[in-house]
Structure 1
């Protein structure tokens, strides 16, 4: 086993490690094996691994998003000892792949929305026949078959004789299908949230039931009070509703008010209670819809009559956002958004559930707390807040409301110098979640603004460990899709900063996409025109964008001949010389232009093209001259830098064998001017970025 650890931990992918955050050597080893399975290069494993380790491998594959069809097949081929598989959010699988599950003796299985992809109906009987072995039928304790497709033969679930936990959440099943629970004597947890069950009478006398989840259930018949009274063994009860504003629940259906039904049970019998009840979720309920005081009375009654009740969620109820005095002396956790601690607590409680609406609601509350009272957050609260916000964003990637609120939270957590309060690993996760959102919602302008406002931070962009290639690529894609000027300015600034930090092969890969270079040249033309024809703020914005676009192109054309060719084909050379002429008194801008032209001049056809234009040659020679005695506040001599890069372009041009006839400047004239200029360069007090040495002939 120790040998395996040493082998599998070598060359651990940094991004994967950061994403999954393994807490032990065993988890890190499982993560490494998961990566190898994803790459289809797992070395032979000589002896069987313990089930706990096999389960960790499966979980790591799920977190890395590689528990897909190929991943499940490879996993089955390895013949690992696995007792727990969670395929939720892994996509749909055809039966030929799901049938591989029969190779494992499972105790826990979640296939929520995971299949089968070759049928619009989930037939429990067929699933058992094709995908479950006898050992699993006898030993399975946890089964999640939630989803949205039609389900048939639900009664066959009774074949899982040891089942303790069953989730049918989201399935369009009614109370008739629910009769199967009577044939599950060991059942302790039942989730029928968001189903079509309208009568829960079938649950009568299920005294072994410890957890009942009925989120967003609309009960219209049966004696609900009698059923609730009979469930004396309940420890967890969820009767929340999928609304974040109880006052906007416009349903016209005559549904039973479950919180009031519980109140009725308690008032009808002074001795009635749920003696083991520890947690109740009332989120989204109107709680009699008679104001804060009436809602507080209901919560107080539940706390006073249920001696072990220690957690009550009143999120999105009349009590939400209001202080509430607990009427009992034991420790009680009220899930509310009245304070910053409670708001973060609410998010911690809901992010890892399928309650998107409540997660978004809690995120909105956290956002307002960060916006209005960030300075009141302690370092530990900031760290916890960042962790749960990132977790929520990852879990609910495909919910726009969560992404909007969460990205706004990240902006306030990472704003300016605030980001220094976060650990490097926390910042990395913030960046990854922002990039996830930008990739998933490329055309949602406000979300794009949230993302790039967060990432456009000098401190953040200087950190090691950030995936600069992905950051640059997503920024470029966003730039292509979004026409918003603010998004364009931020993304081009980010590209210009992170492009030099990428590995050479990554930079070449990005630069090989001609769409990016074409768009950047278009930005140069557009902002050059805006600067010429505008003044005030618009001119300043154009100048800002122009500078960063030049920096980005300088880096993307470096050592990339194909990119330089595209740059020239898109009229980039002509635009560059237009900028040189317009900004003759801006050494910094001219240096960036000359840096690009240096790269372009390394391609023979392009330097020949520049050489044949006498105006280009003269403009370059003019850039050789300058006041070399002055340095700026940082000690940099901008005139020397400009002259240096102009000399670099000219040096490349001097290598051309055929000098254009009739040129006003001969080869000797150019060479002499270069030598004269170089001899005037002083020793610089600070180093100057340079890529090529100047050759004089």
Structure 2
């Protein structure tokens, strides 16, 4: 069972994605570690293989699996060996997080014929190591290499770039945020004759004179954040304007990039002067994409003339007030350029483009999320229609959240954006991924506003994805520990607030129909803490029902029930059974029913007997009146099957049929199908067919069966066949 305030909504992922996720999370089950002889003293001598020796994964699936493992930060040297060329094929490789890969893991690439290679964030190995691990075919045919945020420095702090010269057919090179320098640029320009696209953003390049050698073939140049000598700023623009074949130019600036260690002592460096370029209205005649974000020296008249002389498709104007100008936001203006793709914060479209385009710039992402929140909360000048579900907003938010886990303000801005009941309840998106990222955020920051938003989001979304996904998240000790610490803090301070309620709800939903999270909860002393909560907040309906709901989840797991055979808990349950609030009484009764049903449990050490509790249970359930609203929601009725057996205690049977009747009468369309698919209707038929069944239990069972018949999941003939006793409805 799970929190009724967060109704279940199944949003199935694509089968292929689900299968790949399963492989990523279950490598220990699907694979085996084998040893091999290695002459390298730094090589572990271990590799990973699929247990099924016949396994072969085609190219597209191999590439997607590798990408997912990288995104989930599970990729290390041993996991990388799983992609040997005899069982996988790789042509287009994307390693979004290569920080845990050394040369031993990268050797796996040698057997593949690679056309495109992205290895971001290399730290345990260098770019030179990466290239040395490529096979001869790959060296001769590689078209694209992206090593952004990686290092060329070896252990002796020498920057080695000669290996790049081997890639003679390389067309696209991204060395942004590396130690790439003027000398490196000269080497690349001389040795890579087919180079068409170059990204040297946030590198140590301070002189771009070498680019004149490829002025006729370079089509894309990105040098965001580059600083040049003040006295050479006009010379830099001269060089840029000679690149007559450019289709894309990025000369934006980044606030969080300061290449101090690259600049000679005593030299004076400054940003590239964008205004000088714009004044040359007719230069770069083929230009289609221009990013001048973060720059201040923009004269609006020069910009208008420049745009009028070019067929610009994209214009970057982030961190510049010009993006708000009516010529970019108001189509009724005589001069209007808003039909182009523009990044900025002048309207929703500009902000979304920021989020899509600048995933590697935390400052830009943080600002974009801030302005997006203002729009979605209707506090800005331009408002987003909050009545229309927006999956695209959520997707870009999650990408930002995943890309920058250590940027608190960015994380907070994402939470603010998705902290909407309508978004969480109605918009279709990857709820599992969202919940995982939010839990990571919760564990990283101690900020009460972020904590409140995080637990609220988790409590709502945890009821909306599969049991397998619930189990995966709930069984992570750091998540469980953090959630319990929030409960402990509130309990210590005797504080019942929305944060406590949603945290209890999140824990309830994460343990629903999931034995592993229940075990982790118990291992983390959750049992003792929850007893303290029941004692500290007696009479608090919202607190008691959520605590008892989680105890119900534990009680449904046979091998964990003995944890609940605690004298204080049992005595507390005997009192809560008598609660005037039917929800509290119902959940307490559910726990008691499961405990009474299990004859392997020992009651002799408790102050109350099994028979006494059974009599309490019978009397209490008989006193209930059917409530107007549905009190609880169930993912499965399988835990009910042992409670409905013919030889079971009648008090246990009574609670079980009452519970089933309650939910089927409130939501027959959902639950009748579930009862039939899990064969609970067969067990109910056994009850009504047996002369030994108590007449009251038979009556309720008969009502459930008739509801199933009315909804088309059972025939009237089946309800009559084999009957010796006919209960009265």
Give the TM-score taking structure 1 as reference length: 0.71
Matched with 1:302 is 306
Instruction: Give deviations 1:199-225, integer Å, cap 9, x for gaps.
Output: 323323431221111222222354322
1:607 counterpart SS class = coil
Structure 1 residues 621 and 57: alpha-carbon distance in aligned structure 2, compared to 1, 3 A threshold: closer
2:318 counterpart SS class = coil
Residue pair 2:66, 2:95 contacting (<8 A) in 1 also = no
Alignment partners' CA distance in 2, 1:367 and 1:645: 56
Alignment partners' CA distance in 2, 1:240 and 1:74: 41
Q: Which of the numbers 402, 427, 431 marks the counterpart of 1:422?
A: 427
User: Where in structure 2 are the equivalents of 1:544-559 lying within 5 Å?
Assistant: 544-559=542-557
Matched with 2:393 is 385
Alignment partners' CA distance in 2, 1:622 and 1:319: 74
Matched with 2:501 is 489
Structure 1 residues 29 and 637: alpha-carbon distance in aligned structure 2, compared to 1, 3 A threshold: closer
1:166 counterpart SS class = strand
Matched with 2:456 is 453
Q: Does 1:576 align with 2:573?
A: yes
Alignment partners' CA distance in 2, 1:686 and 1:495: 34
Q: Does 1:257 align with 2:259?
A: no
2:249 counterpart SS class = strand
Q: Does 1:607 align with 2:603?
A: yes
User: Where in structure 2 are the equivalents of 1:348-497 lying within 5 Å?
Assistant: 348-350=356-358, 353-372=359-378, 376=385, 379=388, 382-397=390-405, 399-412=407-420, 415-416=421-422, 419=424, 421-423=426-428, 426=429, 429-439=430-440, 441-444=442-445, 445=447, 446-457=449-460, 461=463, 467-470=469-472, 472-473=474-475, 476-482=480-486, 483=489, 486-497=498-509
Cα deviation, residue 63, structure 1: 5.3
Alignment partners' CA distance in 2, 1:438 and 1:77: 37
Give the TM-score taking structure 2 as reference length: 0.69
Matched with 2:289 is 279
Cα deviation, residue 552, structure 1: 0.9
Structure 1 residues 28 and 301: alpha-carbon distance in aligned structure 2, compared to 1, 3 A threshold: farther
User: Where in structure 2 are the equivalents of 1:475-624 lying within 5 Å?
Assistant: 476-482=480-486, 483=489, 486-497=498-509, 499-500=511-512, 502=513, 507-513=514-520, 515=522, 518-531=525-538, 542-561=540-559, 563-569=560-566, 571-577=568-574, 579-580=576-577, 584-601=579-596, 602=598, 604=600, 606-610=602-606, 612-613=607-608, 621=615, 624=618
Residue pair 2:481, 2:524 contacting (<8 A) in 1 also = no
Cα deviation, residue 529, structure 1: 2.3
1:195 counterpart SS class = coil
Cα deviation, residue 437, structure 1: 2.8
Residue pair 1:518, 1:570 contacting (<8 A) in 2 also = no
Q: Which of the numbers 216, 223, 232 marks the counterpart of 2:225?
A: 216
Structure 1 residues 578 and 479: alpha-carbon distance in aligned structure 2, compared to 1, 3 A threshold: farther
User: Where in structure 2 are the equivalents of 1:220-231 lying within 5 Å?
Assistant: 220=229, 222=232, 223-231=235-243
Residue pair 2:459, 2:509 contacting (<8 A) in 1 also = no
Larger CA deviation: 620-629 vs 134-143 = 620-629
1:219 counterpart SS class = strand
Larger CA deviation: 617-626 vs 548-557 = 617-626
Matched with 2:197 is 189
Unaligned runs of 5+ in 2: 1-11, 32-47, 154-158, 258-262, 491-496, 633-647, 656-693, 706-729
2:290 counterpart SS class = strand
Residue pair 1:456, 1:493 contacting (<8 A) in 2 also = yes
Q: Which of the numbers 126, 133, 139 marks the counterpart of 2:141?
A: 139
Structure 1 residues 560 and 20: alpha-carbon distance in aligned structure 2, compared to 1, 3 A threshold: closer
Cα deviation, residue 573, structure 1: 2.6
1:334 counterpart SS class = strand
Cα deviation, residue 376, structure 1: 2.2
Alignment partners' CA distance in 2, 1:529 and 1:73: 53
Q: Does 1:86 align with 2:94?
A: yes
Q: Which of the numbers 301, 311, 316 marks the counterpart of 1:313?
A: 316
Residue pair 2:431, 2:464 contacting (<8 A) in 1 also = no
Alignment partners' CA distance in 1, 2:400 and 2:411: 9
Q: Which of the numbers 625, 639, 644 marks the counterpart of 1:631?
A: 625
Alignment partners' CA distance in 2, 1:80 and 1:619: 60
Structure 1 residues 40 and 174: alpha-carbon distance in aligned structure 2, compared to 1, 3 A threshold: same
Cα deviation, residue 168, structure 1: 1.6
Residue pair 1:630, 1:637 contacting (<8 A) in 2 also = no
Matched with 1:175 is 182
Residue pair 2:228, 2:270 contacting (<8 A) in 1 also = yes
RMSD in angstroms over aligned alpha carbons?
Answer: 4.5
2:255 counterpart SS class = coil
Residue pair 2:91, 2:114 contacting (<8 A) in 1 also = yes
Instruction: Give deviations 1:224-262, integer Å, cap 9, x for gaps.
Output: 2222222222211222223399xxxxx99954332xx34
Instruction: Give deviations 1:284-309, integer Å, cap 9, x for gaps.
Output: 22x22xxxxx653453243134x122
User: Where in structure 2 are the equivalents of 1:654-693 lying within 5 Å?
Assistant: 683-684=699-700
Alignment partners' CA distance in 1, 2:89 and 2:622: 73
Alignment partners' CA distance in 2, 1:253 and 1:556: 68
Structure 1 residues 648 and 369: alpha-carbon distance in aligned structure 2, compared to 1, 3 A threshold: same
Structure 1 residues 224 and 337: alpha-carbon distance in aligned structure 2, compared to 1, 3 A threshold: same
Alignment partners' CA distance in 2, 1:465 and 1:272: 61
Residue pair 1:479, 1:491 contacting (<8 A) in 2 also = yes
Instruction: Give deviations 1:362-399, integer Å, cap 9, x for gaps.
Output: 222222222218772574x6133233333443444554
Alignment partners' CA distance in 2, 1:622 and 1:109: 68
1:173 counterpart SS class = coil
User: Where in structure 2 are the equivalents of 1:105-144 lying within 5 Å?
Assistant: 105-117=113-125, 122=126, 124=128, 127-128=130-131, 130-144=132-146
Instruction: Give deviations 1:91-142, integer Å, cap 9, x for gaps.
Output: 332222222322223222222223544xxxx372x554x4133333322221
Structure 1 residues 617 and 510: alpha-carbon distance in aligned structure 2, compared to 1, 3 A threshold: same
Higher relative helix content: 1
Unaligned runs of 5+ in 1: 1-13, 246-250, 289-293, 532-538, 639-643, 652-677, 689-697
1:91 counterpart SS class = coil
Q: RCO greater where, 1 or 2, for CA within 8 Å and sep 6 or more?
A: 2
Structure 1 residues 627 and 491: alpha-carbon distance in aligned structure 2, compared to 1, 3 A threshold: closer
User: Where in structure 2 are the equivalents of 1:151-170 lying within 5 Å?
Assistant: 151=153, 152-170=159-177
